[in-house]
Amino acid sequence: MLDIRFIREHFPEVEKAIGRRNGGGSSLEELKTVIHDFLAANEQWEDFNHRRNEISNTFKMKGKELTKEEKDKLQEDSKELKSKHEEVEKVRNEHKEKLEQLAMSIPNMPDASVPDGKGEEDNVEISRWGTPPTIETPRDHWDIGTELDVFDFERGVKIAESRFTILKGMGAKIERALMNFMLDTHAQNGYTEVFPPIMVNRDALIGTGQLPKFEGDFYKCADDELYLIPTAEVPVTNMYREEVLPEEELPILHCAYTPNFRREAGSAGKDTRGYIRQHQFNKVEIVKFTTPETSEEEHEKLTRNAEMILEALELPYRRMILCAADLGFCAKKCYDLEVWFPGQNKYREISSCSNFGDFQARRANIKYKPADGGKSRFVHTINGSGLAIGRAFAAILENNLQKDGSVRIPDVLVPYLNGVKEIRKPEPNHRTKVGTH
């Protein structure tokens, strides 16, 4: 969340920055009012507290010198002040609670380098890599995968619901190969691998900004205050919640594979076919904890680390910088990497690489102790998909489709697949359709 003191002291600047987003302005205006009310109540509370302390000190220092009338008057004043103090404390606490709730609903301020815009159509292309392949008859990945018997959409629905998919044979093997390849590559680039819990408590989701704003978007356990994670960003970032890290340890780099779970209640009708938008999906996440001075440089490096995966997989992509109106709630700056899908004849997002500044660190109370011994400061957090495994698999199917219907496997994955170089149609007697025995 944003620094309340900064909002109070630089309100026009904050208001202008938040105004570049879609939404957030009304909560900001209400927050300004609540800050005013809280400060007024807090001033009264401190005044009453000060006066009560004065009376107490008078008794301690001059008790024997006071007359009975003076003592009675001081006791009466103390009793009255105590009553007033309790009343204003109640009002003060109410304002403080509301202030904290409103502060949680205010999005991050876009970085000055982020372009203006009204929506995703105003995102700006930064660069492209690779040339989209020439495919005589491009096809969608779900048709390719079904024909090659690597997807079983129908049985996925049967055992769960829509947007749950079973991977079979080479499909399961390639998903696993992609996971290992991505983790190995990030480890070579300095990231320490972790395998965190895939269930987290409410505080963890508050710390990374998913709650309370996006309540209802996640799968929650019926009998516990635990949630299935929407991304490894949540448990990995919260590894250091309520900690003060030595500056000498920064930057801290982590990579993590996890399955992820999202209800996506607001995405009805979007990408209902295929393997792009699933309720359960696999992803490798890369996360950094840095000092404020190095966060911009580390953001660029992290984005480049994600791009290297796409280039190794020989997948054409482009880098986009998101406009202010399309930024995620916590991000101050974000690059989207979009991979080419021939079957859809367009680029699709496969990784969002975001710099959050100290926005998440304030919510999760993650600080570092400067090497010069100065006062502890909030770290900056950065993360991105490195990559979304299912989307990478879908892009491989569409970009590497051969004339005979087979799919060429990228060279970097061949060692992970015991030398197998292509996915071919299985023999008819090896295929099992729904409803057959």
Which of these is catalytic: 20, 277, 377, 408?
Answer: 277
391 is catalytic: yes
- 363 is annotated as an active-site residue: no
128 is catalytic: no
3-state SS assignment for residue 243: coil
Q: Are 391 and 276 in contact (CB under 8 A)?
A: yes
Which amino acid, one-letter code, is at 36? H
Split the chain (437 residues) into runs of 10 and give each run's mean pLDDT: 90 93 76 92 89 80 75 82 89 92 92 96 98 96 96 95 95 98 98 98 96 91 94 98 98 98 70 87 98 98 98 98 97 98 97 98 98 96 98 98 97 98 82 48
Query: In the chain, how long is the greatest CA-to-CA distance?
Result: 107
Q: Which of 163, 262, 319, 363 is catalytic?
A: 262
The tokens describing 311, both together, are: 């280039």
Residue 331: closest CA among 189, 31, 123: 123
Alpha helices by DSSP H, listed for 249-336, are: 295-312
CB atoms within 10 A of CB 115: 15
Q: Which residues in 243-253 are b (16+ Cβ under 10 Å) and which e?
A: eebeeeebbbb
- Extract the tokens encoding 96: 């403080």
Q: Angle at which helices 295-312 and 170-188 pack, to 10 degrees? A: 140
- Which residue's entry shows tokens 């079979």? 168
Provide, for the chain, the percentages of residues in helix, strand and coil under a 3-state DSSP scheme, each rounded to the nearest 5: 45, 20, 35
48 within 8 A of 41, measured Cβ to Cβ: no
| Model pLDDT for residues 137-164, shown as the tens digit of each residue | 999 999 999 999 999 999 999 999 999 9
SS3 367: strand
Q: Whole-prediction pTM value?
A: 0.90
Compute the radius of gyration of the chain from its Cα atoms.
28
pLDDT in the model for residue 233: 98
CA distance 140 to 132: 15
* Pick from 302, 306, 362, 303: nearest CA to 330: 362
Catalytic status, residue 349: yes
Closest by alpha carbon to 214, among 224, 202, 197?
A: 202
Q: Is 117 helix (H, G, I), strand (E, B) or coil?
A: coil
Tokens of 123: 């995102």
- Structure tokens given for 331: 């991000």
352 is catalytic: yes
How far apart, in whole angstroms, are the C-alpha atoms of residue 73 and residue 56? 13
| Catalytic choice (352, 354, 362, 363) | 352
Q: For 165-188, what is each residue's pLDDT tens digit?
A: 999 999 999 999 999 999 999 999
Helix (H, G, I), strand (E, B) or coil at 365: coil
Among 349, 377, 406, 408, the active-site one is 349
CA separation for the pair 338, 403 (Å, rounded)? 25
Q: 3-class DSSP state for residue 248?
A: helix
- For residues 290 and 251, is the Cβ–Cβ distance under 8 A? yes
What local confidence, expressed as pLDDT, does residue 437 receive? 34
3-state secondary structure of 216: coil
State the pLDDT at residue 78. Answer: 83
Distance between CA 132 and CA 400 in Å, rounded? 10
The Cβ-side half-sphere exposure at 399, using a 13 Å CA radius, reads 24
